[in-house]
Structure 1
């Protein structure tokens, strides 16, 4: 059994590993621990796993970003978090359990029993189906694409600093996982990358069109809550800062 744990606090990770080794057979269990969202994404893209334990607060970053990028129909996930207010949202993503910190051995045993039941059921379904059932079977994909383009390109909803996967899915009358599957499977992107592409795209236009305008004002105008988020996203997209981009485009 291959298990991946995303947890930024070493004490919690070591304790979870200790409990897993006491419940499961160490000789038949391979446990990998990572401490960042980037490491988790890299590992999940490179190696198959049986079970994923995910903390939702990774050095201040939102663990839901990982769920936006992985298909929960293929990656069986258990959330381990002190923030129980996120439990309902987590189950909407398709996770099989939500364990509140601090973890108890009895609660972990129950979660692993749920995993065994889920994995057995999933394997039976896969013997009858070559691929997981899509959440988009009843969705008109061409109409969805048109409505999504209208929201992003005409209404420019990406300027809303509180725009989330859930909010955008609601605008499209979809479940968040349906929108996530559409972006991941049909457009080969994640929600966050999709959102940043529109925000940075307009930021580039504004930097060229209004050379006298403050870079910070442009960042806020296109939907970023903080300057650090804007600067990081811009540099990640173009490999240069917004100010450097402006300099290279001056006549």
Structure 2
């Protein structure tokens, strides 16, 4: 199980980490962040199974962190911590759909029982099963990239949890689902632009899964560094340059 703990007060954060380390199930991996922006960066790399977060933090509070993390499919299980025993916080926490709401200081027995419950709810996946899931999902995406794909669609199709698929993408590709899908679509568009001169840019954008020519051009420029029209005009020389740009964007030598 992977746990991220977020609190803007260093002494409290260190204390929380020690308590959670003491009561967590064996094999638990724990990371810490001092604020919401730092937590969001950590989530993209770590993909926690559960995030334990303070409510009152500068820049973004705990609820804003939860909302943004869910929009980006970075984590879906949250435990909220606060020193304020107020019903409004409890009500809002429940509306946000958190796993639980705990008051500081933490009760060791309470957090131990809660983490044990979360551990039981997580899918138990062996390395071989993980590899099989990765191969199946990536094969499906590469065959159906031109269709309307989302994490929820993949989750329903593969009978897996969206958060698990999101974590799998990060581990297997070093990228999130949306970036991986878009980069794959752009690679296919590049091939068509060079080899299918009779197809318009608009037709190619639809053929590789983009709803509008404008959005296709925006994403194409992000990955290729140029417009689809300019790429087509540059031919093989442009293809080599944009392949180099793609490798740099994805950290390849």
TM-score range, shorter chain: 0.5 to 0.7
Deviation at 1:64, TM superposition (A): 4.5
Query: Which residue pairs with 1:235 in the alignment?
Result: 221
Which of 144, 150, 163 is the matching residue for 2:133? Answer: 144
Which of 176, 200, 208 is the matching residue for 1:222? Answer: 208
Label 1:116 to 1:127 Cα distance change in 2 as closer, same or farther (>3 A).
closer
Which of 140, 157, 171 is the matching residue for 2:144? Answer: 157
Does residue 94 (structure 1) correspond to residue 77 (structure 2)? The answer is yes
> SS state of the match for residue 210, structure 2?
coil
Distance 1:196 1:57 in 2: 24
Query: Which residue pairs with 2:193 in the alignment?
Result: 207
> Normalized against structure 1, the TM-score is what?
0.55
Distance 2:107 2:172 in 1: 29
Distance 1:168 1:229 in 2: 22
Deviation at 1:218, TM superposition (A): 0.7
Label 1:110 to 1:159 Cα distance change in 2 as closer, same or farther (>3 A).
same
Distance 2:42 2:135 in 1: 34
Q: Which runs of 5+ in 1 are unaligned?
A: 4-29, 73-92, 98-104
- Which entry has the higher C-alpha Rg, 1 or 2? 2
Q: Which runs of 5+ in 2 are unaligned?
A: 1-6, 10-33, 46-50, 55-61, 81-85, 95-99, 238-253
Q: Answer yes or no: is the 8 Å Cα contact 2:182–2:219 preserved in 1.
A: yes
Does residue 2 (structure 1) correspond to residue 12 (structure 2)? The answer is no
Distance 1:177 1:44 in 2: 12
